[in-house]
Structure 1
């Protein structure tokens, strides 16, 4: 036993030594080459022959700023009362107004640029965005960040209508789903590329949700604004698909985070149920793997450093430390392509006790092409892209899967 332990530790130290040597070697390479080797700059595209994009009618979906949102709640009240209430709540009014003006000026630039090309442009926001608008345009251009992009995508239910986002505030927002940040200040160049067909189509897969057992009518809730009502969703006997597709993820669990979620899960068409006690399940697309999926599963540098100390390596947690590099490699490998046909599931805070899960052996996270979830919850919800919520209480069963016809058509510029 002692010899086995010594040999095991010897293997561990040898592996870590080789890893350290490898990383030191990698540091000597050019930074861009290192990023390519580690997969940091990977761009995943489904290669489809590109034709020039027909653009006659453009629908601009504009971000609703915090200032506009707050002001809307006062409706007929005077501006003084509105501002006084914001001050009372400790809001930075100057900052709210600054970012409101910044966004509106950017919106004006986008519209002016598009109209200068002879295009028919209509501007909407979350309060007046409709399926009819989607049907009547050639391309949808969300202006804002990833939240606005998700809003714009929510009413697109096929893989034909292009959605192309511009980040209106790249200094404050990453805008992973939008065009590269340099086009935020070079709108003309972006439109030139679109009209010339100088891009590659990227079909981002989305999650289709079918309710296998549920009430015939479901009352969805729009989480970002209680004033924005959604019509009751009526599910027919023949087709119980929910009329929304998840671009990032679907989350299922109790609405009260302190309450344990009781769920049954089947993977990839299996007839075997796994009974779970957890804090909910997050099912992600490749697009969503850079979002909530990454936040749930990423390893902080502190955790990696503590693991290294368990094998008598005392790493620092600085920028170029072994712990930092290993954490970065691990976290980057959590990301997978937006056009991948599989979904990633994560069981949040799985209770691993003598009898849970039942049967034993389920992994906290993994991949699936089909996932069935049944609720044994008290007050649970099925939430799409963190925005639209459906009740998902005891007995409700949902089938999650990816179909190519449900993908969202976006673009990647060739440069």
Structure 2
């Protein structure tokens, strides 16, 4: 079949789903045009560079480079950050589609998107920037299922998932054998997952319609059995993403709370005062975010079940160490929405900030 015939077939396929073929084609061309601008600017500055497709980024490419630029959006940046273990090298994101991508992790898209990459490169070469460190979450697995193969989520749509993109997954992996603290002779394996979470980790049943069952403990709270829609654990970088959107309050919610407070307490809070409502909303929502350099995690219990059996003391807080034991049968542990690990009954995951593995990037602030 010719390329033209393949293109027409793809066009008809997209139209059958009421998708915009020409819009997709335009974005595809824009991305590769922007990528070509980045490549030419590096070449003009006599900087040797290699272009590596996102799913083929491996240890050898990272070891070769002195600095890594991601060209895309936040998803591309996160994929590279997961595999970045050398903290002496910076990772810098360039937004190739500023009209459709927020690119929160990339350089400011208005002034320094891919088409304007030359301006950014001049500042970098002059040293006109500051270093920014982003903490990441390290996950250690023990118990059963710790050696199951990981799955890239983009492959799960396939009937027979291809693992060609994860053949390098074990390159940086550490497997240790530890002795129990009670002095017994038996040993058990501990697996440090080969990727570090820059945004967040999700723990729960693979099918969202199923209830997730687990035991959770933190450095400040005792072990507790819970059922919920899963758990999210984030860094300061991720605190403005999923964590924020799960927990944030709207102005209408604040107004309803004030109204109920008046009814219960007999007080007379000015419910119709929009300025005060906005201030309360902004104050609470701002408390959900914290600095990416802070060695801390925030966790949220999604839709916790509370009844006579399950007593959920708190639905989320901050922690420096979190341990979760799975009581599930088809569960997963997903790092930054990209890499999925099986997390079924008997598996234990420990989450800690990997302070020695903070990601180095730059800021133009």
Return the match for 1:217 from 147, 154, 159: 147
1:343-365 deviation digits (Å, cap 9, x = unpaired): 001111111212213xx5x3111
The answer as to whether partners of 1:211 and 1:399 remain within 8 angstroms in 2 is yes
1:324, distance to aligned residue in structure 2 (A)? 3.3
1:18-54 deviation digits (Å, cap 9, x = unpaired): xxxxxxxxxxxxxxxxxxxxxxxxxxxxxxxxxxxxx
1:189, distance to aligned residue in structure 2 (A)? 2.3
Return the match for 2:130 from 200, 204, 213: 200
State the partner residue of 1:173: 101
Q: Secondary structure at the match of 1:217?
A: coil
- The CA RMSD over aligned residues, in Å, is 2.2
CA distance in 1: counterparts of 2:3 and 2:205, whole angstroms: 34
1:332, distance to aligned residue in structure 2 (A)? 2.1
- Alignment TM-score, normalising by the size of structure 1: 0.76
State the partner residue of 2:13: 85
Q: Secondary structure at the match of 1:250?
A: strand
CA distance in 2: counterparts of 1:126 and 1:105, whole angstroms: 17
The answer as to whether partners of 1:209 and 1:241 remain within 8 angstroms in 2 is yes
Q: Secondary structure at the match of 1:97?
A: helix
CA distance in 1: counterparts of 2:88 and 2:128, whole angstroms: 18
State the partner residue of 1:12: none
State the partner residue of 2:330: 379
State the partner residue of 2:175: 236
Range with greater deviation from structure 2 (168-177 or 394-403): 168-177
Range with greater deviation from structure 2 (213-222 or 203-212): 213-222
Gaps in structure 1 of 5+ consecutive residues: 1-73
Q: Secondary structure at the match of 1:303?
A: helix
1:88, distance to aligned residue in structure 2 (A)? 1.3
The answer as to whether partners of 2:174 and 2:194 remain within 8 angstroms in 1 is no
Structure 1 residues 235 and 404, CA gap change in structure 2 (3 angstroms): closer
CA distance in 2: counterparts of 1:76 and 1:213, whole angstroms: 53
The answer as to whether partners of 1:346 and 1:365 remain within 8 angstroms in 2 is yes
CA distance in 2: counterparts of 1:288 and 1:375, whole angstroms: 23
Return the match for 1:279 from 229, 252, 256: 229
Gaps in structure 2 of 5+ consecutive residues: 178-189, 263-267
The answer as to whether partners of 1:254 and 1:381 remain within 8 angstroms in 2 is yes
- Alignment TM-score, normalising by the size of structure 2: 0.85
Counterparts of 1:328-343 in structure 2 under 5 Å?
Answer: 328-343=282-297
Counterparts of 1:130-145 in structure 2 under 5 Å?
Answer: 130-145=58-73
1:322, distance to aligned residue in structure 2 (A)? 3.5
The answer as to whether partners of 1:200 and 1:411 remain within 8 angstroms in 2 is yes
Counterparts of 1:24-63 in structure 2 under 5 Å?
Answer: none
State the partner residue of 2:215: 264
The answer as to whether partners of 1:264 and 1:273 remain within 8 angstroms in 2 is yes
Range with greater deviation from structure 2 (228-237 or 325-334): 228-237
Structure 1 residues 321 and 216, CA gap change in structure 2 (3 angstroms): closer
State the partner residue of 1:408: 359
State the partner residue of 1:28: none
Q: Secondary structure at the match of 2:305?
A: coil
CA distance in 2: counterparts of 1:154 and 1:128, whole angstroms: 13
The answer as to whether partners of 2:70 and 2:80 remain within 8 angstroms in 1 is yes
CA distance in 1: counterparts of 2:101 and 2:339, whole angstroms: 22
Structure 1 residues 76 and 131, CA gap change in structure 2 (3 angstroms): farther
The answer as to whether partners of 1:208 and 1:403 remain within 8 angstroms in 2 is yes
Kindly tell me the number of residue pairs found equivalent between the two proteins: 334
Return the match for 2:343 from 358, 373, 392: 392
State the partner residue of 2:112: 183
State the partner residue of 2:187: none
Q: Secondary structure at the match of 1:186?
A: helix
1:269, distance to aligned residue in structure 2 (A)? 7.7
